[in-house]
Structure formats: C-alpha cells, structure tokens
Amino acid sequence: MTTLAPVQRLRLLRELERKVLWLSSWTIHHANHLRPNRDGLKVGGHQASCASLATVMTALYFSVLKPEDRVAVKPHASPVFHAIQYLFGHQTREKLERFRALGGAQSYPSRTKDVDDVDFSTGSVGLGVAMTLFSSIVQDYVRLKQLAPADRPTGRMVALVGDAELDEGNIFEALLEGWKHDVRNLWWVIDYNRQSLDGVVNDRLFGRIGEMFELVGWRVVTLKYGKLLETAFAQPDGEHLRQWIDDCPNSLYSALVYKGGAGWREALTRDLNQYPGIRRILEQHDDVSLHRLMTNLAGNDMQAVLDAFEDVGDDTPTCFIAYTIKGQGLPFAGHKDNHSGLMTLDQMAGFKKGMGIEDGREWDRFAGLTVPPAEFEAFLKDAPFNAEGRRRTEAPTIAIPAALPRPTDKESSTQAGFGKILNAIAGEDSELSHRIVTTSPDVSVSTNLGAWINRRGLFGHTEAEDVFRELKVVSAQLWRKTPRGQHIELGIAENNLFIQLAALGLSHEIFGTRLLPIGTLYDPFIARGLDALNYACYQDARFMIVATPSGVTLAPEGGAHQSIHTPLIGMGQPGLLSYEPAYVDELAVLMRFGLEHMQQPKGSSIYLRLSTRSLQQPERALSAQQQADIVDGGYWYAGPEPGADVAIVCMGAVTPEAIAAHQSIVRDFGGAGLLVLTSPDRLHGDWLAAQRNRGRTTGTVDRSPAPIERLLGTLSRDARIVTVMDGHPLALSWLGSVRGQRVVPLGIESFGQSGDIPDLYRAYKLDAAAIVDAVARAVG
C-alpha cells in the first residue's frame, strides 16, 4: 500500500466526492428520465438527500473505514452507497441503470436484494440507526466469549443518520439501553441538513440533541463550519459573521442557500453593514465565491470531515453532528421542497457540463476526472475498506440434537413447558446450550426465562455480583452479570427487543459466528415492536420469539393485555414462521425444529405463540410421523371416518374445549374428526406452494397434495367444519377454500374483558357448548 501525501489524498478524495455526487444524481436521473415509463408512476429517488452526505460517505468509504466496520446507510442515500460500490467494482452498471427497477439496485440499501455488500438494510427511518447500537452489543457478546474468529479485529458500528430520523422514538429507546450496556465502538454521523421530508426541521431541537447524547455517555463532535468560513471568522469583524450564522434560523439559512450569492449579499448588507471587516469580505467575494463561502459547512468540507473522523482514537461511542446542505452542489440546494425534487433535463445538462462529463460517458468511471485514471485506480485499490473485498462472513451451523429434553408434567401450560425445556438445556454442557442467547424486555421472569438465567447468567461487560444474593436475601432469581452470561436483559421497549434479535440473528453473517437467539415477550406487545420485527425479518435475521400470554386465555388481565390478531401477524409476516402448540410435547418438537430451521439457508425466524393456561397433557409418545405432522402444521387428534361429514378444527389453548365438544358430537355425528392445528401459517404457505407447483408448465411438476389438502381430503366433499382458536377467526376461516367445505369459524373479534376462563370462553363463544352449537348451525 502506498502512502499518499495529505494534499494528494485530499485532492483525490475531493475528486471522488464529485464523482460520487455525479453518479448518485445520474443514477436517479436515469431511472426517472431515461428509462421507459410503463405505468405513469414517478420512479423517484432523492438527489438532494444524497448530495448532503456525499462528502461524509466519500471520506468514510475511501479513507476512514476498515473492512471490519459495519455501516447502516441513511435509506435515501442508497444511490451514494451504490455509486461508491460501483467505483470499487462491487456494483454493476446494469444494476445502476435498473435502479428502483425489478432486479436493479434497491431504492434503500438491502442486505438480501442488493449485491454490493450492504451491512444493514435500512428504509424505515430510525431502525437502521438503532441496529448499529445493538450490533455493537453483539460484537462485544461474541468477543468477550471468544466466539468470534480470533483474527477478527473489533469493528466500528457506523450509522449515517438523517437529522429528521432523530424524531423517531426508537432511537432514544436504543440510546438508553446502550447506556445501560456500556456500548462501545459506535459512530453515529448525523447529516444535519436541517431539512426533513416536508420542510425545515425545528431550530429548537438540535440545541438539545448534543446534550442528550452527552447525557448517555457519548462523545459529541460538532462539525459546523468548514475551513473557508473558519478563515473568514479569523479576519477582522469575522466574529460578527459567525454570530450572524449561529443566530440564523434554519428556514432563513436554507432559503438563502437556495437564493445564492445575491441573496447572501443582500441579507449580510442589511444586517452587518456597519462592520468594516464584513464590508471588506463582501467586496472581496463575487456572488459565486460568496455563496461558496456562506455554504461552506463542515459536513460538506472534506478536510473538516477527515479531521473529525481521524481525531477519534478510542472506542467511546461518538456522535458527529455534521452540518450539511441538503442538495449541496445541486440546483435546488437548500430549497425546503427539495426532498423528492429531481433535476430537470436542462438542470441535468448544466450539472453534467459542470462535472466535465461528455455525452455517452455518464457511467464511465473515469469521466470528468482531473487526476489520471491510473492514480485514481491505485487509490481505490488501496482504500483500507476495500482490502478484503466482500465482507460478509459465514459460520457453520450448530448441531441440534434429535430431541430436546421433554418435561413430563401431567399438567402444564406451554409457557411453563418452554421454561422447563430451556432450563434442561441450560443444565447441559453442549454446543446448543452455549450458543443459545436469550433476551427479553423486562419480562424474563413472567415469560419463564428465570430458571435459564439462574443457570446461564446475565451478560455484561464486567462481573457484577447479585447484591441480593450477597446479602443472603432469599429470591428465586439468582442473577449474576458476567461476560459469560447468556441472557441480555433489556428495559421495557419491544422495539429494542426486536432490533436486538435482528442484530443477534445476523451474527453469522456480520461477526462470523452463529448464535441461536431466543426472545420472549407478551404476545400483545408484538404490535408495539412490529415495525422492528418486520425490519428484522426483512434483513433475514434468524431468531425465535416466544410470546406469552396470548389471547383472552390470559383472562383476568383484561383486554389491554389480550392479543387478538397476532396469529394473523404470524401468517402475514414474511421471514417468520409461526406456531401455536397446544401441548408441551408438541412444543418440544417445534422448538427443536425451530432451532434447526433458523439456521437453514432457506429457513426463517420462528414465532411460538404460547399460553399460560395449564392443560392436562396427553399421555403419548409421539411417533416420527406425528412429529413430522406437528411440524407440518396439524394432525388428526381423533381421526374422522373416511368421508365423514363433520369435523372440529382447533388450535392452542382452547383444545380441551374442542375435545369436549367433539366427544359430545360423535354421538350424533359418528365418525366426526378432531383436527388439532399447530400452524395455520405453515399449512397455508404449503397449500399455496402446492397449487403453484401443480400449475407449473415447465420442468418436473410436483403434484403431491399439500398437508392440509391431505388432512381435509379424508372428509366428505361437502363436510362442515367448525374452527376454534383463541385469536382472530380469520386465521382458520380460509380452510373452507381448500376443498370447498363449509367452515364456521369461532374466535375473538373484539377486545377482551377481564374474567376467568369459564366466563370468558362462554362470553366469546369458545366453550364446548358454543362449539357444539356451531356444529349444529353448520349442518343445519
């Protein structure tokens, strides 16, 4: 690697900054103006949002970052990221030409769909930012346990943050959690362009932002004025110019940026003409250079940006507040409406000329450069970030034993069973037991993780004794915090839970070692963190969520804690396979399957919806076929006679009611069946897949029926089916479409009440009598 003189490096980086600005603007322009538009919809893209980050991203990727660093890029700066990767040779021209088209470079950086080594997907603002914080916890977790490959240096987790992203509450939830966990090696670079989507951001906010970061132990580095302005401030009366800009409201500053040199001159003459030094500055600058001076903010000044980044030499989490201009260098710089503004054809022609790009050479990596291509190439080749090429890691899978320990209690809830299974695993010295990491937002005890934590301990950077234990205060929870601990205890914030799971669930691809994350929470509060859960699944993170209590079966706690539509979330959420077992032996099968499925290339995350209702457990030893049926989504608990006209289908905690109803209807409907489902999600997915397979016109056509087709195929063509579950009935009412059999679905359609189970099941028509009634209606 050649070492460059600082001036030479600066010159090359400035060239690259222009190049990156050009390519990102052109990529968006091309997508909007030069590709045939077949549907009349605007393609979009954010030229202004890209421009404000061009300097920071150029400095980072071409000089500051190392291969082990991981970055969450502000979603709408995606074209800048793709342009940088294109220059490195990791992105293709074809994909840039197809930006925002099917198969092209993605609108927002995507781990799963982009080919150019995206570390963290972004898109829903705020989540990518928090992702870096939770990834830094994971980095420490695997480092302190020596799970990561020994030669892997510690990386910095970097977020490039839009200033308006800081309105998202999840960022502050993450900051508080990070403080508690003493996060390290974290850089958040705030693109303080003082503009959001709708307009100019509130002046009052940023007066406080820096203090908020400092409050939670961060270093705050403010990059406010560039080198030109600093030089002007040092001249006679220069301090008045500084004061004037400091006092300038965001909206006025933005408007003047848009108006340009004449606008600045008018405003400064009006306000500061009494100072001879200022008059001299105005005389010394024509409109173009005055505009350059007045818009010389540090976040768009390469030297200032490099100085700020290179000054940081320790692992203290650091927030850089980088003053920038939205649309810097573009015709609509500073205009409050520029968020989705696109250069017109004329504007682009002028911009292109200014960049020195000839017609037909728009995608050329060297067009418009003032440095020789060979020098440019050598610089790219030597960029530290690029030293290893693609930086995504791999890790071998963890072997899961053929069966998990299975509790043998005669009566148990699935939640209690879950705690016992984990507790038994905690007692083993196995690869499985060492790779499981649990986490929970202040509901570890009430979701039955207590015993696991007693054995495996809390995770922390340093050893901390359990004071209650030291003082010999009797407690069921013996929670020592050590670097060896395997439970990450979070405060009550479900967003944080899901982002922590996302970070843990990508450890194999980010940190080169595999973890088996299990997160527990109350089922209704999945909704609180739903966007973060969606975000975790979107990037293909792999984890298991275990949610209890669920449904109205929670009973006395009332409607606010009773989850109703979570089974539909489980079915509708891509990347998440959901199950709701009734019995503990089913749960043991599903946990085993889930831990394996989480690790498969084509697998997914797993959601187990459990219950606190204690049920009498069936006395049975599940055969291999029964286990496979449980994984496939359901089995006949009481098989129907072939061609039977009636069946009851149930799921989860209401299974005893279904059994009782079934016993009472078989007197009238001999041969009626009782089908216990474990996963409408799996059954539905496999049913759609089977139909698609049969519809194929090329290759080998798989005609085998889907599990649900086989199960319902035992019944007569026009059989009547009553479905019952503790959740929204829509999750099972689709069963009628499988073979055209009529379904009467029972479930919960309104907010729950407080009450005990008998009262509530009666009120919500989930009890045996209601099921029998429904059967009568179905056949009537």
Local structure of 644: helix, strand or coil: strand
Nearer to ligand TPP, 124 or 251 (CB): 124
Q: Read off the amino acid at residue 138.
A: V
Q: Which does 420 bind (CB under 5 to 8 A by kind): ligand TPP, Mg ion, none?
A: none
Window contacting ligand TPP (CB under 6 A); options: 161-169, 367-375, 620-628, 702-710: 161-169
Nearest approach, Cβ of residue 125 and ligand TPP (Å): 4
Q: Which of 165, 362, 629, 686 binds ligand TPP (CB under 6 A)?
A: 165
Measured distance CA(540)–CA(599) in Å, rounded: 11
DSSP bridge partners of 437 = 517
* Separation in Å, CA 369 to CA 304, 358, 377: 22, 11, 12
Nearer to ligand TPP, 76 or 514 (CB): 76
Q: Answer positive or negative: Cα dihedral of 649, 654, 659, 661.
A: negative
* Binding flag, residue 162, Mg ion (CB under 5 A): yes
Q: Which of 64, 125, 443, 715 binds ligand TPP (CB under 6 A)?
A: 125
Window contacting ligand TPP (CB under 6 A); options: 36-44, 69-77, 358-366, 661-669: 69-77
* Binding flag, residue 173, ligand TPP (CB under 6 A): no
* Binding flag, residue 68, Mg ion (CB under 5 A): no
Nearest approach, Cβ of residue 477 and ligand TPP (Å): 37
Nearest approach, Cβ of residue 155 and ligand TPP (Å): 24
* Binding flag, residue 96, ligand TPP (CB under 6 A): no
Nearer to Mg ion, 21 or 458 (CB): 21
| Helix orientation angle between 530-538 and 127-144, rounded to the nearest 10 degrees | 70
Whether 39 contacts 109, CB under 8 Å = no
The DSSP output letter for 297 is B
Taking 3-state DSSP, the helix, strand and coil percentages for the chain, each rounded to the nearest 5, stand at 50, 15, 40
Q: Which of 15, 163, 509, 645 binds ligand TPP (CB under 6 A)?
A: 163
Interface mask toward ligand TPP for 30-49; x: CB under 6 A: ----------------x--x
10 Å CB burial of residue 740 (0-12, 13-18, 19+) is exposed
Q: Which does 339 bind (CB under 5 to 8 A by kind): Mg ion, ligand TPP, none?
A: ligand TPP
Q: Which does 197 bind (CB under 5 to 8 A by kind): Mg ion, ligand TPP, none?
A: ligand TPP
Measured distance CA(326)–CA(254) in Å, rounded: 9
Nearest approach, Cβ of residue 595 and ligand TPP (Å): 32
For residue 274, count other CB atoms closer than 10 A to its CB: 9
Residue 313 Cα to chain centre, angstroms? 29
Q: Which of 19, 76, 487, 728 binds ligand TPP (CB under 6 A)?
A: 76
Q: Which of 265, 339, 514, 592 binds ligand TPP (CB under 6 A)?
A: 339
* Binding flag, residue 29, ligand TPP (CB under 6 A): no
Q: Which of 195, 222, 412, 605 binds ligand TPP (CB under 6 A)?
A: 195
Q: Which does 124 bind (CB under 5 to 8 A by kind): Mg ion, ligand TPP, none?
A: ligand TPP
Could you tell me which of 397, 216, 246, 386 has the C-alpha nearest to residue 317? 216
Whether 55 contacts 299, CB under 8 Å = yes
* Binding flag, residue 163, Mg ion (CB under 5 A): yes
Could you tell me which of 534, 547, 542, 531 has the C-alpha nearest to residue 441? 547
Could you tell me which of 742, 777, 768 has the C-alpha nearest to residue 645? 742
- Indicate the pairing of strand 644-651 with strand 715-724: parallel
* Binding flag, residue 324, Mg ion (CB under 5 A): no
Measured distance CA(532)–CA(573) in Å, rounded: 12
Window contacting ligand TPP (CB under 6 A); options: 72-80, 475-483, 556-564, 719-727: 72-80
Distance in Å from the first CA to the final CA of the chain: 84
Q: Which does 76 bind (CB under 5 to 8 A by kind): Mg ion, ligand TPP, none?
A: ligand TPP
Interface mask toward Mg ion for 185-204; x: CB under 5 A: --------x-x---------
Q: Where are the beta strands (DSSP E) in 452-592?
A: 458-459, 481-482, 487-490, 516-521, 544-547, 576-579
Nearer to ligand TPP, 110 or 193 (CB): 193
DSSP bridge partners of 490 = 441
Whether 253 contacts 195, CB under 8 Å = no
Measured distance CA(315)–CA(703) in Å, rounded: 58
What does residue 233 show for φ and ψ, rounded to 5 degrees? -65, -30
Nearer to ligand TPP, 196 or 605 (CB): 196
Window contacting Mg ion (CB under 5 A); options: 161-169, 580-588, 667-675, 755-763: 161-169
* Binding flag, residue 528, ligand TPP (CB under 6 A): no
Nearest approach, Cβ of residue 163 and Mg ion (Å): 4
Interface residues toward ligand TPP, by CB under 6 A: 46, 49, 52, 74-76, 124-125, 162-165, 191, 193, 195-197, 326, 339
Interface residues toward Mg ion, by CB under 5 A: 162-164, 193, 195
